[in-house]
Amino acid sequence: DAGVIQSPRHEVTEMGQEVTLRCKPISGHDYLFWYRQTMMRGLELLIYFNNNVPIDDSGMPEDRFSAKMPNASFSTLKIQPSEPRDSAVYFCASSNDRVRLFFGSGTQLSVL
């Protein structure tokens, strides 16, 4: 199995631009999670899906953030407009039991 695949690995953009992060979960996993990691705040859950349905988006910072899961093999996290404080590593993870998570390699986002 290829594991959780995220793209891009690195993204550098200017403030105000739209950023789209992509994730392909492990086949057969019913849960998909988006996390953000910073030195100050550690790993924070942004949103998670079960069977493509958003279950808890209480961690999404504000309306600038949105996430979709149009099918079982693909999810996106979009930030529009991006701000420098959004700079972080964004991880996607999938699971078949909600508690044992398999993480992707992450996207290092830098907003200038």
Partner 1 sequence: RKEVEQDPGPFNVPEGATVAFNCTYSNSASQSFFWYRQDCRKEPKLLMSVYSSGNEDGRFTAQLNRASQYISLLIRDSKLSDSATYLCVVPGEYGNKLVFGAGTILRVKS
| Residues contributing to the site for partner 1 (CB under 8 A) | 35, 42-43, 45, 48, 55-56, 91, 99-106
CA gap 3, 31 in Å, rounded: 14
Nearer to partner 1, 55 or 72 (CB): 55
In the complex, least distance from residue 51 CB atom to partner 1, rounded to whole angstroms: 15
Helix (H, G, I), strand (E, B) or coil at 12: strand
Amino acid at 94: S
In the complex, least distance from residue 87 CB atom to partner 1, rounded to whole angstroms: 15
DSSP strand pairing (10-13 vs 88-95): unpaired
Nearer to partner 1, 28 or 42 (CB): 42
